[in-house]
Structure 1
């Protein structure tokens, strides 16, 4: 029987991921695209574990997201529910679960050094690792028409996913200060945030 995960994961990651799902009794739901998250984990009232992952993710992002969410489950089961969601227990668990996948049979060679660096101290979201995020986005379907904040000239006006307009300001350490046009409030944006440049 063909494994339905083949549609979403790199070929050599399908069986190991299926084993993780079976071992930890995960109810995996593959859902429509959500702008604000790639996936999530929650314990259901009946005690089962539900993980959702966006169907629109490329195979490498899907794999990282799935293992990220399984790491939440495993860390909570091992250390209790009082731990911080992305604290040291989760980081250690994520590193441990992800290690068998970081190899050339699964990931393209140009991603491997970026993954190795990222997993020395994994963040709550791989999107906050600009270099890894941009490298992963190269494997998205139709990625070529996307614009990122770091590419915009200073003072550019841009629109984000919810329709709000901002003006790009100076870079502050790693992120850009941008002013919301409607309110004048300043927000910080990751360099790799996807936006729509307003050219009127």
Structure 2
């Protein structure tokens, strides 16, 4: 497990991550890309715990996602199963676990102020933090994906499932987009990754 992880996280984070994963009941699996999540945590029926992380994440997003999921495990151990998945117990645990990594040996200087701001009150997904998601995207391998907020008004785009939408105006936080085939209106997170359609 540890050798696989070494390929996915910043080198200066390795020792700290290994110490966090030094638990007999916890396994980490690196998976092929899932469109709906970066990673997840499960309390298995046999009493063991499993974390899965998408292999296609850049090293910085992978590390944030891994610590996010370890925080679920640690919060479960400390506070039991009746806590909210992304409630105050998880938030405090995530902040505590992430703090040692928030330094220029692990993350580029450009990301540190955004991470510091994000971890004052971490959300269920770093993707909901527009500035942080955009900054993290700069470290991705080149691809044909675009964030919804980058799509010009009135331009068509498609999702991973092939559905095509036309971008409309921004409501308070999300964009109104019309599905071309059905005419139905949907609200999109600004950081949803889509593909432009000519």
- In which range does the TM-score fall when normalised by the shorter chain? over 0.9
| Matching residue of 1:50 | 50
Q: Distance in 2 between matches of 1:24 and 1:94?
A: 21
| Matching residue of 1:153 | 152
| Matching residue of 1:165 | 164
| Matching residue of 1:82 | 82
| Matching residue of 2:190 | 191
Q: Distance in 1 between matches of 2:24 and 2:41?
A: 12
| Matching residue of 1:69 | 69
Is contact 1:130-1:190 (8 Å) kept?
no
Q: Which runs of 5+ in 1 are unaligned?
A: none
**Structure 1 residues 18 and 25, CA, compared in 2 at 3 Å: closer, same or farther?**
farther
Which segment is superposed worse, 147-156 or 134-143?
147-156
Q: Which runs of 5+ in 2 are unaligned?
A: none
Q: Distance in 2 between matches of 1:23 and 1:102?
A: 23
RMSD: 1.4
Secondary structure class of the residue paired with 1:177: strand
1:76: how far off? 1.4
Runs of 4+ residues deviating >6 angstroms: none
Q: Distance in 2 between matches of 1:194 and 1:173?
A: 19
What TM-score do you get using the length of structure 1 for normalisation? 0.94
Q: Does 1:105 pair with 2:105?
A: yes
Secondary structure class of the residue paired with 1:73: helix
1:192: how far off? 2.2
Aligned pairs, number: 197
